[in-house]
Homo-oligomer: A and B are copies of this chain.
Amino acid sequence: LGHFEDFGSMMNQPIQFANAEDKQEFSKFPTKAGRRSLSRSISQSSTDSYSSAASYTDSSDDETSPRDKAQVNSHGSTDFCVKNIKQAEFGRREIEIAEQDMSALISLRKRAQGEKPLAGAKIVGCTHITAQTAVLIETLVALGAQCRWTACNIYSTQNEVAASLAEIGVAVFAWKGESEDDFWWCIDRCVNTEGWQANMILDDGGDLTHWVYKKYPSVFKKVRGIVEESVTGVHRLYQLSKAGKLCVPAMNVNDSVTKQKFDNLYCCRESILDGLKRTTDIMFGGKQVVVCGYGEVGKGCCTALKALGAIVCITEIDPICALQACMDGFRVVKLSEVIRQMDVVITCTGNKNVVSREQLDRMKNGCIVCNMGHSNTEIDVASLRSPELTWERVRSQVDHIIWPDGKRVILLAEGRLLNLSCSTVPTFVLSITATTQALALIELYNAPEGRYKQDVYLLPKKMDEYVASLHLPNFDAHLTELSDEQAKYMGLNKNGPFKPNYYRSVSL
**A positions within 8 Å CB-CB of B:** 30, 32-34, 46, 49-52, 97, 100-101, 257-258, 261-262, 266, 269-270, 273-274, 277-278, 281-286, 288, 304, 306-311, 315-335, 337, 341, 350-354, 365-366, 394-396, 408, 423-429, 464-466, 468-469, 471-472, 474-483, 485-486, 489-492, 496, 498-500, 502-508
**A477 engages B508 (CB within 8 Å):** no
Q: Which of B261, B283, B477 contacts A322 (CB 8 A)?
A: B477
Q: Which of B351, B396, B468, B506 contacts A319 (CB 8 A)?
A: B468
Min distance, Cβ A28 to any Cβ of chain B, angstroms: 12
Q: Which of B50, B326, B499 contacts A286 (CB 8 A)?
A: B326
- With a CB–CB cut-off of 8 A, which chain B residues contact A476? 288, 331, 341
Q: Which of B285, B330, B428 contacts A328 (CB 8 A)?
A: B285
**A326 engages B489 (CB within 8 Å):** no
- With a CB–CB cut-off of 8 A, which chain B residues contact A503? 33, 504, 506, 508
Give A508 to B260 CA distance when docked, in angstroms.
Answer: 12
Min distance, Cβ A474 to any Cβ of chain B, angstroms: 7
Give A12 to B394 CA distance when docked, in angstroms.
Answer: 49
Given A33-B500, A317-B482, A477 and B331 touching (CB < 8 A)?
yes
10 nearest CB pairs, A to B: A507-B507, A307-B307, A283-B426, A332-B477, A286-B326, A319-B469, A285-B327, A319-B468, A318-B498, A326-B475
Min distance, Cβ A180 to any Cβ of chain B, angstroms: 27
**A352 engages B472 (CB within 8 Å):** no
- With a CB–CB cut-off of 8 A, which chain B residues contact A309? 266, 269, 327-329
**B475 engages A315 (CB within 8 Å):** no
CB-based nearest B residue for A292: B480
**B465 engages A320 (CB within 8 Å):** yes
**B51 engages A499 (CB within 8 Å):** no
Copies in the complex: 4
- With a CB–CB cut-off of 8 A, which chain B residues contact A352? 485-486, 489
Give A235 to B396 CA distance when docked, in angstroms.
Answer: 42
CB-based nearest B residue for A465: B319
Give A505 to B496 CA distance when docked, in angstroms.
Answer: 21
Q: Which of B30, B304, B322, B477 contacts A472 (CB 8 A)?
A: B322
**A502 engages B504 (CB within 8 Å):** yes
Min distance, Cβ A97 to any Cβ of chain B, angstroms: 7
**A427 engages B281 (CB within 8 Å):** yes
- With a CB–CB cut-off of 8 A, which chain B residues contact A354? 486
Q: Which of B100, B274, B283, B469 contacts A270 (CB 8 A)?
A: B283
Give A397 to B350 CA distance when docked, in angstroms.
Answer: 38
Give A345 to B394 CA distance when docked, in angstroms.
Answer: 35
Give A485 to B464 CA distance when docked, in angstroms.
Answer: 37
CB-based nearest B residue for A427: B281
- With a CB–CB cut-off of 8 A, which chain B residues contact A327? 261-262, 266, 285-286, 309
Q: Could you show 18 A-B contacts with beta carbons less than 8 Å apart?
A: A270-B277, A283-B429, A285-B327, A304-B308, A309-B328, A316-B479, A318-B499, A320-B499, A323-B471, A326-B475, A332-B475, A332-B479, A333-B478, A351-B490, A353-B485, A353-B486, A503-B508, A505-B508
- With a CB–CB cut-off of 8 A, which chain B residues contact A335? 480
- With a CB–CB cut-off of 8 A, which chain B residues contact A257? 320, 508
Give A428 to B498 CA distance when docked, in angstroms.
Answer: 32
- With a CB–CB cut-off of 8 A, which chain B residues contact A466? 319
